Amino acid sequence: MPKFNNREEYEKWKAQRLESLKSKNVDISEDTKKDEPPRKTYKTAVVWIMIVLIILVAGIFYSLLTNNPKPDDAVSGKRGDTDTIIKLPEAVNTQVLKEPVSLSSPKSWAEVIQQAKKSVVLIKTPQSTGSGFIISPDGMIITNRHVVHDLTEVEVVFNSTVSQKASVVKRGTIPLDIAILKIEGNNQDYLRLADSNNCAEGEDVMAIGAPYALSETVTKGIISNCNRRMKDEFEDITYIQTDASVSPGNSGGPLLNKNGEVIGMLTWKIIRRGSEGLNFAIASNVISKFKDGLMDRIEVSAKKTYEGKNKEFNNQFDGLKLTWMNEYTAYYNKIGLMVAKGSISVEYGTQLLSRAAAPPAGVSSVAEWLASLANRILRGEITESEAHALVKNSFAL
């Protein structure tokens, strides 16, 4: 750079230099740049960087659109060659893709019971009371045969208050302890019959019924055995054993699973000193077959068998009843003699006679107790002499 004597010489040289550079279309030299403020060129660089990024993103997006992804067979199944299959991105909210909740999904037990109660009825007859449940909107009711006996019409009570007459349209032959009733109406609340083949031992169950005529009584237990068959009964008749507490009057009531379906119908229990939780329900599949007329062959055989067993039962029952009457007469005479001699007071003698005439604990009548003894003889649980000994021992002083 030349030396200048004053400021004017510098300005003149600078102007000539700029004109020369402009005419040659070249950049200003580094020396000139040092003499004037630097230019801000970073904005231009940023613009170019953004342009490059936009082009790069557009290229990636274009490649995604033009490629054909493979179908996800687990979701879409097989499709034709012309189908366009686009996988959902990970960020999509998958909650809207869930299946609707099944109507048979497990509910709380409180919900199950509140709904089921609407379909469980108390059955009244001149002889006794029992339970039943509706299985169709048109008012078909299932109960035990021994609840309705040989009647053609019974009274059913809903919600402990509303009473209605029901016709007995079909009854099984013992040991097929099932009866079908019918009430008027086409919009009844009803319970579904479960598939008892899906029974699981240890599964929670609920029993609803009217023990001792106390409507809507609920007890809880588990399934103890899914496929119990009784001695000398037919192979097609299976029972579900449960420890849910049941009492006289529960007969004919439903045993419910967690879905509110009927897995069995409460039918009988073993009453014996020291035994607890031995309760049995006819499996729901047996009920379905009976309702659909698929147990007719069994009933023909059952009828013949029942007639023979009924005759044998009557013989055993009559023999036990005669023993009881003879023992009671002898006991009465013995108590009367003791009162006459002054060994005991009249009041105490009366108490002894009343106690001897009463049935054992847990049994409603002497006749029921004697009948249970007769059945135990027929099932081979006790001998005939052992049964008569039990009757005699009940009058021991």
* Nearest CA-CA partner of 200 in 220, 225, 221, 219: 225
* Nearest CA-CA partner of 136 in 186, 179, 170, 172: 186
Q: What's domain 109-291's architecture?
A: Beta Barrel (2.40)
Percentage of residues in the chain with pLDDT exceeding 70?
70
**Phi then psi dihedrals of residue 27, to 5 deg:** -75, 155
Distance CA 153, CA 242 (A): 31
Tens of pLDDT, residues 256-315: 999 999 999 999 888 766 667 789 999 999 999 999 988 877 667 666 666 777 788 899
Q: Residue 347, class by beta-carbon neighbours within 10 Å (0-12 exposed, 13-18 middle, 19+ buried)? A: exposed
Band (100; pLDDT cuts 50, 70, 90)? very low
Across 95-104, 207-216, 300-309, 370-379, least confident range: 95-104
Across 47-51, 157-161, 185-189, 324-328, least confident range: 47-51
86-97: average pLDDT: 35
160-181: average pLDDT: 90
Q: Residue 29: pLDDT above 50?
A: no
Q: Which residue has the higher pLDDT, 130 or 306?
A: 130
Q: What is the pLDDT of residue 116?
A: 94
Q: What is the pLDDT of residue 306?
A: 66
Q: Residue 125: pLDDT above 50?
A: yes
Which helix (DSSP H) or strand (DSSP E) does residue 156 occupy? strand 153-158
170-177: average pLDDT: 85
Distance CA 244, CA 269 (A): 11
Q: Residue 83: pLDDT above 60?
A: no
What residue segments make up the domains of the chain, in order of their start?
109-291, 304-393
Q: Which residue has the higher pLDDT, 141 or 98?
A: 141
Q: Which residue has the higher pLDDT, 18 or 227?
A: 227
Q: Residue 154: pLDDT above 80?
A: yes
Band (77; pLDDT cuts 50, 70, 90)? very low
The secondary structure of 211-232, three-state, reads: HHHCCCEEEEEEEEEEEECCCC
Please state the pTM of the whole predicted model: 0.54
Q: What is the pLDDT of residue 15?
A: 73
Residue numbers annotated as active site: 146, 177, 251
Q: What is the pLDDT of residue 41?
A: 54
Q: What is the pLDDT of residue 80?
A: 36
* Nearest CA-CA partner of 224 in 209, 207, 205, 208: 205
Residue 193 is classified by DSSP as B
Please give the distance of CA 102 from its chain centroid, rounded to a whole number: 14
Q: What is the pLDDT of residue 92?
A: 35
**Cβ neighbours around 194 below 10 Å, total:** 22
Distance CA 220, CA 242 (A): 10
Q: Residue 97: pLDDT above 60?
A: no
Q: What is the pLDDT of residue 7?
A: 66
Q: What is the pLDDT of residue 284?
A: 97
Q: Which residue has the higher pLDDT, 234 or 164?
A: 164
Tens of pLDDT, residues 312-358: 889 999 999 999 999 999 999 999 999 999 999 999 989 998 988 88
Across 21-35, 109-123, 130-144, 226-240, least confident range: 21-35
Average pLDDT of the chain to the nearest whole number: 79
Q: Residue 102: pLDDT above 50?
A: no
Across 87-96, 111-120, 364-373, least confident range: 87-96
Band (226; pLDDT cuts 50, 70, 90)? very high
- Contacts of residue 18, Cβ cutoff 8 Å, sequence gap at least 6: 28, 32
Q: What is the pLDDT of residue 175?
A: 77
Q: Residue 75: pLDDT above 90?
A: no
Q: What is the pLDDT of residue 383?
A: 95
